[in-house]
């Protein structure tokens, strides 16, 4: 069911500073910031030869990332995103096996313009999993 790793997401308290660190210190190509109001975040992507790193900061006080940063004020790994060929078939298979899909269970459009779902971290050893339609 799982395809390649699409990205690893890191929550940061200051997106501008984090993007500059990856760009200027590590020499990485970093995208322009993209606000995603439906997800409550602003993101940039660090482009790597084999995957991407998503840096995300809260977009407003009600953002789920704001709560994450309250517990982790310096930031930290937030989730890992895997590609799937058919997001609805993946959802149905996962829920049939007892996995919990966050939200209402329906895919939302993610930063890459493709449908995404998030799976409860308690079902995957403390790791929030994002699935993105390939």
- Catalytic residue numbers, as ranges: 130
> Could you tell me which of 28, 48, 45 has the C-alpha nearest to residue 110?
45
**How far, CA to CA in Å, does 50 sit from each of 4, 8, 26, 72?**
9, 12, 16, 28
Give the dihedral sign, CA 42/48/52/56.
negative
Q: Tokens representing 104?
A: 């209402």
Q: In a 3-state reduction of DSSP, which class is residue 23?
A: helix
């Amino acid at each position: 069911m799982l395809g390649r790793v699409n990205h690893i997401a890191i929550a940061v308290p200051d997106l501008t500073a984090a993007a500059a660190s990856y760009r200027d210190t590590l020499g990485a190509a970093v995208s322009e910031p993209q606000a995603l109001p439906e997800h409550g975040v602003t993101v940039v992507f660090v482009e790597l030869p084999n995957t991407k790193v998503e840096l995300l900061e809260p977009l407003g006080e009600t953002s789920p990332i704001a709560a994450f940063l309250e517990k982790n004020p310096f930031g930290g790994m937030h989730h890992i995103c895997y590609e799937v060929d058919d997001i609805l078939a993946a959802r149905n298979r996962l829920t049939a096996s007892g996995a919990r899909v966050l939200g209402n269970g329906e895919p939302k459009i993610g930063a890459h313009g493709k449908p995404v779902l998030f799976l409860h971290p308690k079902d995957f050893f403390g790791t929030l999993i994002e699935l993105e339609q390939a």
